[in-house]
Structure 1
Amino acid sequence: MTKIADFRAMTPDQLSDELLKLKKEQFNLRFQAATGQLEKTHRVGEVRKDIARLQTLLRTKQPAA
């Protein structure tokens, strides 16, 4: 799990890249879970929470329209 301070130090472009990376990891984890190959089951929840943190930070860093 990544600390929120690490995410806050990133630019919006970096946050978007990290979000894409985490969504790919989430897909791979779901695929592993479906096929019974998932070893670290706690990682699914961690990735989901990290995605939520990133989305929240992206929303706050966007200029108000």
Structure 2
Amino acid sequence: MNAKELNDKTPDQLRDELVQLKKEAFNLRFQQAGGQLENSARIRQVRRDVARVKTVLNQKAASAASEA
């Protein structure tokens, strides 16, 4: 996922994406604690995707506030 893809989405779609990513991060942490995690790099990737989504959401909120 890259920022260009996220910029095309609406804030509601971004929030849904954020919820999905947080659930995935939760599940990955559980797998890691249980010793079942196969791809440990996925944790880092999901964390960065969460940060990307939050950044785009904040940018959209700031631009909407400045327009109003």
- TM-score interval for Structure 1 and Structure 2 normalised by the shorter chain: over 0.9
Secondary structure at 1:64's aligned position in 2?
Answer: helix
Q: Percent identity?
A: 52
TM-score by length of 2: 0.89
What RMSD, in angstroms, separates the aligned Cα atoms of the two structures?
1.1
Instruction: Name the residue aligned to 1:7.
Output: 6
Instruction: Name the residue aligned to 1:31.
Output: 30
Secondary structure at 1:38's aligned position in 2?
Answer: coil
Gaps of 5+ in 1: none
Query: Displacement of 1:8 after TM fit?
Result: 1.0
Aligned partner letter, 1:32? Q
4+ residue runs of structure 1 moved beyond 2 angstroms?
Answer: none
Deviates more, 1:55-64 or 1:36-45: 55-64
Secondary structure at 2:65's aligned position in 1?
Answer: coil
TM-score by length of 1: 0.93
Query: Displacement of 1:5 after TM fit?
Result: 1.1
Structure with the larger helix share: 2
Query: Displacement of 1:3 after TM fit?
Result: 1.7
